[in-house]
Amino acid sequence: MDKTLEAFGRIDGLVNNAGVNFVQPFLQTGEREWDHIMDVDLKGSFFLTQYCARQMVHQEPKGGSIVQIASVHTLASLPGAGPYDAAKRGMIGYSKAVAVELAKDNVRVNVLSPGLCATEIWKDIVAAAPSEAECLKFWNANIPSERLIAPDEIAQACIFLLSDMSSAITGANLLADCGMTSQLISKEPYVAKGGTVKSSMKSMKTGNRLTRTATRADYE
C-alpha cells in the first residue's frame, strides 16, 4: 500500500487474489489446518480490504473498487472442503456487509467466483488422477463448456468489476465458471431420449384428503 501511494498518490482498486486450496476429510481436519486456511483465504482478505478501504474513503475524490476472488465453492461443495468452503463463503458474508456500509463513500465491494482454472490447483488435481486424459474426461462432464478457464479470463472479469463499466454493481457475487454451478448433475455417458414426459395420474380418496399419484411416465 505504501509503495502504491508513493507511486500514484491514491488507491483506486484492490484484487484480493491470495488463496490456498484444501482437501481433507472433515473428521481428520485439525485446528492447525483450519487456522492456516482462515488466515490466508479469509483473514488476509478482510484486513487488506480494511486497509485499502480506509484510504479510499479519505482520498479526494473518494471511492474505489474492491474485488474478492472466491470460488464456485460459495454455492456448492465437495467432500473434504470444509475449511475452504467456510473461508470462501465468509468472503461473501463480510463483503456484502462492507459493500452496504461503504456504498455512500463510492467504494464498491464485489466477489468474483471462478470455476476450475488452469492454475496450480489444476496441476494438483491432475497429479492425483490416473492420467490427465481421465481427469479431463471427468471434469468436462461436470463443466457445460467442457474446458478449463484460462487465468486471463478471470483477469478480464476483474477489469470489468474494477472499472466504471460496473459502476452500479456492489455487494454481488459474479460467477465465472463456464456454467459449472448451473448444471444439476454430470452429463450422462449416453444420449438421452428426447421429447416431453407424459404422466398418467389417478385420484385416490384417503380419508377426507384427495391425493394424486403418478402411475406411469414415459416419453412421447
In a domain, 212, yes or no: no
In a domain, 106, yes or no: yes
DSSP 192: P
Grade residue 218 by pLDDT with cuts at 50, 70 and 90.
Answer: very low
In a domain, 208, yes or no: no
**Catalytic residue status for 84:** yes
The CA distance from 49 to 54, in Å, is 9
What integer pLDDT is reported at residue 120 of this predicted model? 83
The CA distance from 65 to 159, in Å, is 10
Q: How many CB atoms lie within 10 A of CB 62?
A: 15
Return the percentage of the chain with pLDDT > 90, whole number.
69
Q: Is residue 215's pLDDT more than 80?
A: no
Catalytic residue among 51, 84, 190, 219: 84
In the chain, the number of structural domains is 1
Cell numbers of 205, please? 380418496
In a domain, 217, yes or no: no
In a domain, 191, yes or no: no
Give me the CATH number covering residue 121: 3.40.50.720
What integer pLDDT is reported at residue 174 of this predicted model? 97
- Residue located via cell numbers 467456510: 86
Give the chain's mean pLDDT.
Answer: 89
The CA distance from 54 to 98, in Å, is 12
In a domain, 188, yes or no: no
> Strand pairing partners for 158?
none
In a domain, 126, yes or no: yes
**pTM of the predicted model as reported, rounded to 2 decimal places:** 0.83
In a domain, 13, yes or no: yes
Return the percentage of the chain with pLDDT > 70, whole number.
88
Residue 39, domain extent:
2-182
